[in-house]
């Protein structure tokens, strides 16, 4: 249930409303917008039936939230959420682009890629230190050594880093290096992992599962948010269908649906959706036109030599061209391409 306050409501009136709700055993969440304040009620809403909240000073309306996800629901906040990652912002006026290799393969490769994507306008650097692979014999990532390389390159370039965490036992370790924790498609419904990343103060990039519905994606976000971490970014990366011409099927319609259903930022992974480098640009154009808040793109200095996902990785020059080609689409939706880090930082986001 959400309580919408009147314009000009005082802090004392808000405190009295919250006190009344919490006396009934529910938790409250405050979202202050430019013109209104929303008080979200979390718990057994049946206890509010006899509370006469409308009679309290400062209350304008009381509305039940019928969706199973509450904290992630669009109605729960006054304005769309913005997630700060280091000195970059996802969900703000500018379209944020995350770029980098699928996996960290070495310091020189990572540094070269980071410097190039930053120059082209990327806001954040991606790179996997731990890699979930279908085959147990495939490259699994460099682990802690990869995390250390990411931190060193962040110190040199100022780009906040996004890297995947695969196991509850890795969360503390990865959080010590990363500015943003990525939950991959295969772990979208790893509820123990979702709860664990919800308990740390790091923004989370949550990818949609291989065959997950939009509702299931939002419920996964709810797991994270229910533990106290509200800095969640959703990622549409394509779902598994009967089509074999692409690696996955990018659900373009999911973007406006999610923007309607949730206040959380929504970005798109065109690399995993198409599975081929030549499909990254057109899928990126479609994502921006459909209302996405940004992109996460795989980039490698020499895709033919990549240890993972080389076929879908752009070259450094290819990423530069993509950023140039995105400009008309960004202009069409009245959102600049920006939000890139501007000053080096040697520590993860607080």
The stretch 39-46 carries a mean pLDDT of 80
Q: Report the largest interatomic distance among the alpha carbons of the chain, rounded to a whole angstrom.
A: 68
16 and 125, same structural domain?
no
Percent of the chain topping pLDDT 70: 96
Predicted TM-score (pTM) of this structure: 0.86
pLDDT band at 52 (very low <50, low <70, confident <90, very high): confident
The stretch 8-26 carries a mean pLDDT of 88
Number of domains in the chain: 2
The CATH number of the domain holding residue 7 is 3.30.70.1140
- For residue 77, being part of any structural domain is answered with no
272 and 222, same structural domain?
yes
292 and 211, same structural domain?
yes
What pLDDT is recorded for position 340?
53
130 and 17, same structural domain?
no
221 and 141, same structural domain?
yes
Residue 97: Cβ within 10 Å count: 27
What pLDDT is recorded for position 344?
44
48 and 88, same structural domain?
no
How would DSSP label each residue in 241-281? -S--SSSSB--TTHHHHHHHHBSS-EEE-HHHHH-SHHHHH
- For residue 345, being part of any structural domain is answered with no
Mean pLDDT of the chain: 91
161 and 203, same structural domain?
yes
166 and 260, same structural domain?
yes
210 and 90, same structural domain?
yes
Segments forming the whole domain that contains residue 46: 2-64
């Amino acid at each position: 249930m959400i309580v919408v306050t009147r314009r000009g409501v005082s802090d004392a009136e808000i405190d009295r409303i919250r006190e009344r709700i919490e006396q009934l055993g529910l938790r409250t969440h405050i979202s202050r917008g430019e013109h209104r304040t929303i008080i979200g009620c979390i718990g057994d809403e049946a206890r509010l039936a006899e509370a006469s909240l409308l009679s309290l000073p400062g209350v304008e309306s009381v509305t039940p939230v019928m969706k199973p996800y509450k904290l992630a629901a669009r109605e729960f906040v006054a304005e769309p959420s913005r997630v700060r990652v280091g000195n970059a912002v996802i969900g703000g006026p500018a379209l944020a682009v995350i770029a980098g290799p699928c996996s960290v393969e070495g310091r020189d490769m990572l540094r070269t890629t980071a410097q190039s994507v930053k120059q082209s306008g990327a806001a954040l650097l991606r790179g996997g230190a731990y890699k979930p692979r279908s085959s147990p014999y495939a490259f699994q990532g460099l682990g802690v050594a990869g995390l250390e390389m990411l931190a060193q390159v962040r110190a040199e370039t100022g780009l906040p880093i996004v890297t995947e965490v695969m196991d509850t036992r890795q969360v503390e370790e990865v959080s010590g290096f990363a500015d943003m924790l990525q939950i991959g498609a295969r772990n979208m419904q790893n509820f123990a992992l979702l709860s664990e990343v919800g308990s740390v103060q790091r923004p989370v990039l949550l990818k949609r599962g291989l065959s997950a519905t939009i509702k299931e994606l939002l419920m996964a976000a709810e797991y994270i948010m229910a533990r106290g971490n509200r800095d969640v970014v959703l990622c549409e990366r394509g779902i598994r269908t009967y089509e074999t011409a692409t690696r996955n099927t990018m659900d373009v319609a999911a973007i406006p649906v999610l923007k309607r259903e949730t206040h959380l930022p929504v970005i798109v992974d065109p690399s995993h959706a198409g599975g081929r480098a030549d499909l990254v640009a057109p899928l990126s154009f479609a994502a921006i036109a459909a209302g996405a808040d940004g992109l996460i793109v795989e980039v490698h200095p020499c895709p033919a030599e990549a240890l993972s996902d080389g076929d879908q990785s752009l070259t450094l020059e290819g990423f530069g061209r993509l950023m140039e080609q995105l400009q008309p689409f960004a202009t069409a939706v009245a959102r600049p391409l920006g939000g890139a880090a501007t000053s080096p930082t040697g520590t993860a986001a607080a």
